[in-house]
Amino acid sequence: MSAQMSPNSDGVRSKRRNLTSKERAEVVAARLRSSVDL
């Protein structure tokens, strides 16, 4: 969980063109939900 906050600043710059920090968080949440379902 702590790692999610650290790479936020760096990750946002690299993947900003693809997803915004907000959208990225939603995608991560969606992945976690799908993982739990499986």
Mean model confidence pLDDT for the chain: 70
Is the pLDDT score of 27 beyond 80? yes
| Domain range enclosing 30 | 2-37
Contacts of 32 (CB under 8 A, 6+ apart): none
Give the number of domains in the chain: 1
Q: Return d(Cα 19, Cα 10) in angstroms, integer.
A: 13
Rounded to whole angstroms, the Cα distance separating 36 from 14 reads: 28
Q: Is the pLDDT of residue 16 over 80?
A: no
Burial (CB count within 10 angstroms: exposed 0-12, middle 13-18, buried 19+), residue 33: exposed
Average pLDDT over residues 21-33: 88
